[in-house]
């Protein structure tokens, strides 16, 4: 009889002890973060997208965190969906490949045009340098304008210097 008298108190003690012991397990499944306004938020769901990692104050432990799985599709819907997603993926891949090839062709065409332009300029420079060298070799009087704007006739040292420059230009442009 004595035990019957304490039964409600013992039962209350056991229930309160179990409640105290279970509370941390339930609380550990909560997220805690500081929102954009600076307020601390508590939730059993993760913070919204865009919340910086530094604003997250507590995460649930892995063992108590809820794992949300997407609903399972029926096999026919999944097969149809995967087939259409594969076709969409292949179509977008083909479009990307076509665009990539087109860009590469345009780049090659630009490079060829630039190379042709440079080759034409080198050929013109080569021809000018050869003509100038012939004039220097023929002994024709050559004049140039100095820094003051006066005309001066090349002497032997000036002619030799101009001959060296013409030869350098021929070496650089006539390949």
pLDDT in tens, 147-157: 999 999 888 89
> How confident is the prediction for the chain on average, in pLDDT?
80
pTM strictly above 0.85: no
What is the C-alpha to C-alpha distance for residues 30 and 115, in angstroms, rounded to an integer?
66
Q: Is the pLDDT of residue 93 over 70?
A: yes
With contact defined as beta carbons under 8 Å apart, do 31 and 43 qualify?
yes
Burial of 129 (0-12, 13-18, 19+ CB in 10 A): buried
For the four alpha carbons of 171, 152, 138 and 135, in that order, the dihedral sign comes to positive
In the 8-state DSSP scheme, what is residue 38? S
**Highest mean predicted confidence (pLDDT) among 42-51, 80-89, 111-120:** 111-120
d(CA 12, CA 78): 53
Please report, rounded to a whole number, the percentage of residues in the chain having pLDDT higher than 90. Answer: 33
Alpha helices by DSSP H, listed for the chain, are 2-27, 75-138, 156-173
The answer to whether residue 35 scores a pLDDT higher than 80 is: yes
Assess whether pLDDT exceeds 70 at residue 68.
no
Q: What is the mean pLDDT of residues 14-23?
A: 69
Tokens of 157: 């040292």
**pLDDT band with cut points at 50, 70 and 90 for residue 144:** confident
- Decide if 162 contacts 134 (C-beta within 8 A): no
| CB of 151 closer than 8 Å to CB of 144 | yes
What is the tens place of the pLDDT at every residue in 102-138?
999 999 999 999 999 999 999 999 999 999 899 889 8
């Amino acid at each position: 009889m004595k035990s019957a008298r304490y039964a409600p108190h013992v039962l209350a003690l056991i229930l309160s002890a179990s409640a105290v012991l279970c509370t941390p397990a339930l609380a550990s499944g909560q997220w805690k973060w500081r929102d954009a306004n600076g307020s601390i938020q508590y939730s059993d769901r993760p913070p919204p997208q865009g919340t910086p990692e530094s604003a997250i104050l507590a995460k649930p432990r892995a063992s108590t965190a809820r794992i949300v799985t997407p609903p399972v599709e029926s096999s026919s819907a999944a097969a149809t969906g995967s087939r259409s997603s594969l076709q969409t993926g292949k179509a977008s891949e083909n479009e990307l490949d076509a665009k990539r090839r087109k860009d590469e062709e345009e780049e090659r065409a630009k490079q060829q045009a630039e190379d042709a332009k440079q080759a034409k300029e080198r050929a013109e420079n080569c021809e000018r340098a050869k003509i100038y060298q012939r004039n220097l070799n023929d002994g024709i009087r050559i004049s140039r304008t100095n820094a003051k704007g006066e005309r001066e006739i090349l002497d032997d040292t000036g002619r030799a210097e101009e001959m060296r420059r013409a030869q350098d230009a021929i070496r650089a442009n006539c390949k």
